[in-house]
Amino acid sequence: MLSGELYDASDKELTNERFQARLLLKELNDKRENEAEKIDQILKYLIPNKGKDLFIQTPFYCDYGSNIVVGDNVYFNFNCVVLDVMKVSIGSRTMMGPNVQIYTATHPINYKERATGLEFAKPITIGEDVWLGGNTVVCPGVSIGDRSVIGAGSVVTKDIPADVFAAGNPCKVIRKLEQ
C-alpha cells in the first residue's frame, strides 16, 4: 500500500488498523473541547507523527492516522477528512478550513482493473504556512508549496507552487503573493 502499488483494502491487517483508528476517532470526536489533556493523549496514538500544538476541531476523520505527518501549530477546522492510505505531510502553521478533504487513495481508471477491488494511493505534501479554504479537496499525488493560499471550494488536482493564491475547479494559480 505504502509503495504506491495496487493493494487489497479488505486485507485483514489493513482492516484491523482502520478499525483501531475508528475506535480512536470515535473517542476523539466524543470529547468536549475542555478535555484538552485527554484529546492530546488520543492524538498521540492516532497521529503519532504530529508536532506540537496540533488543534483539531471535531468531528475529524481519517483512515489510519499513522500515515499523517504534521508539523507544529497545525489547525484543522470542523469536519475535515484525511484519507491517509499513503503518507500525508503537512507543514507547520498550516490551516485547514471546514470540510477540507485530503485524498491519497485512488482507483484504477480501467474498469476491469477497478472491478477487482484493488486500489492504490499517491502521497500528498502540503507545505508550511499554507491556508486551505473551506471545502477544498486535495487529490492524490498533489504538492502545495509553502505560504500558498487555496481558495474555498477548490479542487486541487495538480501541484501548486509556493507563494501563490490559487482557486477553482480545477484549482489554478490566480496570482503570486508578495510575502
Closest CA to 42 of 16, 23, 17: 23
Q: Say which residues have a Cβ less than 8 Å from residue 2's Cβ, sequence separation at least 6.
A: 67, 86, 87, 121
Q: Which three cell numbers stand for residue 178?
A: 508578495
Report the first-to-last Cα separation within the chain, whole angstroms.
Answer: 38
Q: % helix / strand / coil in the chain, to the nearest 5? A: 20, 30, 50
Q: Which residues are catalytic?
A: 107
What's the Cα-to-Cα distance from 54 to each of 19, 61, 64, 70, rounded to whole Å? Answer: 23, 15, 17, 8
